[in-house]
Each structure stands twice: as C-alpha cells, then as structure tokens.
C-alpha cells in the first residue's frame, strides 16, 4: 500500500546563514515528492543519510515513535549537491509523509525543526538550514537568525515578486566548505544582511553571491557574477555552490537566454508564489 505523495520544494539562497548567523532562502518551482510504501522491505538508497535520521529526529523532538516497518521513496526534480536545497526538500517531504501517515500533529515550525535535526545529525548542514527548510515548505521567504532562542521561527518575512530563476549548472560540489571559511568573510555577509533587513532583497542576493564566491575561493564563479552584474542581471552563488542562480523579470528573458547559451546545462524555473504560512 502506497501513501499520497507529500511535496516539498527546492530553493535558492538570498543570504547564506553560515556567513554571519542570518539566513534567507526563497523557494523555486522544482519539487520533491516523498511516498510511504509498506510493501517494500528496504529503504530507497539514501547517499546523504537523511532518511535514516528521520525516526530518531521525530522521537527526539516530539517523543513520537514511528513504525519501523515503513519505507520512504523519494522522487526529486532538484539536483543534489548544487546549492539548490535538495536536502531540505527531501527532509521536509519525508517528514510530511510520515506525520500524515501516523496522524502526528506538527505545526510548520516544528516540521522545520525536525528537518534541521535530520540535517545536523546526517552532516548535510552546518547550520540546520532553517531558512532552506522554510523554503522547502513553500514559504516565500523567511529570514532566520541562528542566535535567537528559536532559530526555527522566522525573524521576519520578506517576499520576492513573481520572477524567473535560471540556474547555471556547474557540476556537483567537489568538497564541502567549512564554517570557518564563511566566517572569514563575515563583514561582507553583514553587508548583505543589512540590505536584506532594509528590504533590498536583490542587493542582498548579489552581495551574498560575491561573499560566498570569496569564502569558497570560487574565482570562476566570482568572474561570472561580475559579468552578469555588468549586464544588469541579479545573480548569486546559491548555497555553498557551485550553481549560479539568476533572478529576473519577464523583460530580461532574452538577455538571460543569450547569456546562458554558452553553458552546457541550465535550468529555468520560477520563484514559487504561495500564500504566506504562519511559523508558530
């Protein structure tokens, strides 16, 4: 017997939380679906180790035990290890499928907390990825503060207009940066944070990309960001890279298409527009 699929979404970074303790991501229209299947005896292969942390994370944060006889299958449109929040989407969709199956009452903020626990336990995240988890829930867009008493509760909500998002595929991450790599560029991430809090989301998006490129020593990425800026296009390295995301409106479609033509693989989608959720 198979359950109804539970859906979560990919996203792109507006501000990387490892840089200065503040983070923000926005969802994009790439989905991930999780299905509970009681007929299978083995879990779907899970290279990240995320799914193996699901039961223990729910138990740790809620006291609820999960039937060990279930298996979870995940189908995702979101490429992994590219900074597109694939781990958050897997975690959120899996949690939603389990709580629906067993009638566990979790509000959105608690779902985000369980996803953060799963990612920290599995080593998929340096920070808990609270902002990415909110994006995976479909919230456009939560600003989180890691040093708050409840980092899972948005410090504020901003919103990105109905924009296109083109992602330049630059392969998978070869290695995972350390937290200390980002902390060295703290002052530059603070500039992006100041822009974000003041409401200039596109400035924060661009400033974050430059700071991430310097943190990860991505010289090629830094050059691409500067070229895109010279063309009047807002771009950033999303997550820890290596993908570059371009956010733009309809009147820039041809410009982005012309620029992207030289790249072997691109993904074009849209910023997800959904009603705001309440993070209680």
Model pLDDT for residues 111-159, shown as the tens digit of each residue: 999 999 999 999 999 899 999 999 999 988 999 999 999 999 999 998 8
Count structural domains, the chain: 2
d(C-alpha 40, C-alpha 42), whole Å: 6
Residues 6+ apart with CB under 8 A from 181: 215, 216
Q: Do both 27 and 95 map to the same domain?
A: yes
Q: Do both 141 and 207 map to the same domain?
A: no
Q: Do both 127 and 176 map to the same domain?
A: no
CATH number at residue 75: 3.30.230.10
For 160-178, the pLDDT digits (tens) are: 888 999 999 987 766 778 8
Q: Which domain, by its residues, includes 250?
A: 164-270
Q: Do both 12 and 130 map to the same domain?
A: yes
Two tokens, residue 10: 């990919």
Q: Do both 89 and 169 map to the same domain?
A: no
Please report which confidence band the pLDDT of residue 280 belongs to, taking 50, 70 and 90 as the band edges.
Answer: very low
Two tokens, residue 43: 């879990």
What is the maximum span of the chain, computed from C-alpha positions, in angstroms?
55
Q: Do both 205 and 181 map to the same domain?
A: yes
CATH number at residue 209: 3.30.70.890
Q: What is the mean pLDDT of residues 173-196?
A: 91
Tell me which of 157, 177, 200 is where a domain ends. Answer: 157
Q: Is residue 113 part of a domain?
A: yes
């Amino acid at each position: 017997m198979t359950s109804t699929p539970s859906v979560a979404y990919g996203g792109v970074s507006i501000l990387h939380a490892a840089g200065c303790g503040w983070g923000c991501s926005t969802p994009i229209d790439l989905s991930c679906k999780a299905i509970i299947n009681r007929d299978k005896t083995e879990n779907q292969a899970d290279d990240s180790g995320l799914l193996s942390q699901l039961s223990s994370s729910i138990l740790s944060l809620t006291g609820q035990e999960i039937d060990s006889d279930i298996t979870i299958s995940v189908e995702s449109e979101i490429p992994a290890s590219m900074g597109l929040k694939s781990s958050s989407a897997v975690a959120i969709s899996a949690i939603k499928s389990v709580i629906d199956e067993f009638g566990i009452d979790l509000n959105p903020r608690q779902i985000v907390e369980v996803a953060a626990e799963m990612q920290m336990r599995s080593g998929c995240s340096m920070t808990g990825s609270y902002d990415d988890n909110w994006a995976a829930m479909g919230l456009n867009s939560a600003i989180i503060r890691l040093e708050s008493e409840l980092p899972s509760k948005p410090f504020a909500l901003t919103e990105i207009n109905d924009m296109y998002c083109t992602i330049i595929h630059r392969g998978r991450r070869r290695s995972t940066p350390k937290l200390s790599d980002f902390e060295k560029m703290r002052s530059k991430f603070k500039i992006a944070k100041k822009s974000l809090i003041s409401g200039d989301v596109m400035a924060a998006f661009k400033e974050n990309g430059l700071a991430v490129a310097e943190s990860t020593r991505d010289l090629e990425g830094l050059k691409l960001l500067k070229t895109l800026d010279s063309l009047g296009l807002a771009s950033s390295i999303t997550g820890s890279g290596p993908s570059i995301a371009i956010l733009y409106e309809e009147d820039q479609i041809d410009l982005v298409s012309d620029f992207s033509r030289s790249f072997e693989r691109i993904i074009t989608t849209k910023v997800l527009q959904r009603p705001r959720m309440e993070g209680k």
